[in-house]
Each structure stands twice: as C-alpha cells, then as structure tokens.
Amino acid sequence: MARILILGGHGKVALIASAMLTRRGETVTSVIRNPDHAADVEATGATPLVADLERLDVAGIAGLIADQDAVVWSAGAGGGNPARTKAVDQDAAIRSMDAAALAGVRRYVMVSYFGASPDHGVAPDHPFFAYAEAKAAADVYLAATDLDWTILGPSTLTLEAPTGRIDTRTTQSGHVPRANVAGVIAAVLEDDSTIRRTIRFNDGDELIPEAVRA
C-alpha cells in the first residue's frame, strides 16, 4: 500500500484519481487551497491537506511531501491570468519537483497536456500561450531531474463516461474522458516501466494498463 500525495486535489481528474487509488488500498493525501473543498476530497476516501502551493517555498512543499511514496502534480491556475499561470503551472510546479528531491521522494507524476513542448506553436497573442509556455518549462525541468518521473499528456478533456481504454500511438491530439486520465495516473503509479517516459494519449481501444506499458 503506497502513500500518494496529490497536489491540486480538488480538480476533476484529481478527485476521480483519488477515489480510484483509495479503492485499491492506497493512502491518498490531497492538497487543496480552499478548505471549503475538504468534504469533496474526503468523499473520495482521501485525506485533505490545506496548503497554498503558490505561496510555499521549496522547504514548505517538502514538508508536505515528506513520508510519501509518490507525488502527483494535478494543480493549475485555471487560466485567465498569465502571471498567476506562470506562478502556479511553472514556478510552483518546479518548486514541488525540487521539494520532492529534498524530501527524498523519487516517484513523481506530472499531469501535463498532449501538445506540451518548447515548440508548442501557440501564438504569443493567444490566450493559451501563457499556459503552453508554463507547462513546457515545467516538463523540461522535470525531465532533467533525477526523479523517477512520468509526464502524462492527455488530449482535450471531456466529461464522457470512462472507457478504461486509450491510444498512446497517435501523433494527433483528440479527446479523452477525465476518468480515463485518472485511470492512467493510477496505472503508471503501479508500473515502473513508465518511469522517465512521456506518455501522450487520446481515447482509444487498448486497455490502460497495457497501453502505458513500455
């Protein structure tokens, strides 16, 4: 039974992942900024932990991570404010990676997006530009660390029912249910062959555990 810390624990994907993980016997702690969201986290079987990742330094985040077996980054500023997007999706994410290293917790799963890359191609005047830049910087930083990282690149998220099946071979972004993304989080945490890999995926026909296996 692993101890898993989810950063950004009130997001739709995070809540579904928390429920999946606790059902299989993992001990999940979900970091949330708003204490009003604690009941939603508790309903998944996870333990809520109120903290503001935007304001915590590396040592402060390391204090949250200490004694965990794995960290999942599923936090985000939610768009709309470029400065805050950089502060959360890039700067706080990078601090959490340094914090994991400081705390001696090597397993780190980053929830990114399908097109994340320094060559993302988003125009500077597009509203998505700040997010694309922040995620690219965070992913590049993570890939250069000594952590046992996995970067997940789901395509456009939907609220459709989970299928438990994805496609990791496509080179074109499509769509994928949020519950399938949660299923991929759960699967990679059990599969060491996913360490130091970036896995981009759409909805598809292959069972998630088989699709993510190297």
Contact 34, 10 (CB under 8 A): yes
Q: What integer pLDDT is reported at residue 79 of this predicted model?
A: 75
Residue 212 has pLDDT above 90, yes or no: yes
CATH topology of domain 3-212: Rossmann fold (3.40.50)
128-142 per-position pLDDT tens digit: 999 999 999 999 999
Residue 102 has pLDDT above 80, yes or no: yes
* For residues 185-202, average pLDDT: 98
109-118 per-position pLDDT tens digit: 999 999 999 9
53-94 per-position pLDDT tens digit: 999 999 999 999 999 999 999 999 887 799 999 999 999 999
Residue 185 has pLDDT above 90, yes or no: yes
Give strand ranges (E) for 92-191.
107-111, 148-154, 156-158, 165-167, 175-177
Q: Phi/psi zone of residue 67: left (φ > 0), alpha (ψ -120 to 50 degrees), beta? A: left
Contact 77, 85 (CB under 8 A): yes
Q: What is the pLDDT of the chain when averaged over all its residues?
A: 96
pTM: 0.96
- One-letter amino acid identity for 93? A
Partners of 47 in beta bridges: 29
Residue 184 has pLDDT above 80, yes or no: yes
Q: What integer pLDDT is reported at residue 118 of this predicted model?
A: 92
What is the percent of the chain with per-residue pLDDT over 70, rounded to a whole number? Answer: 100
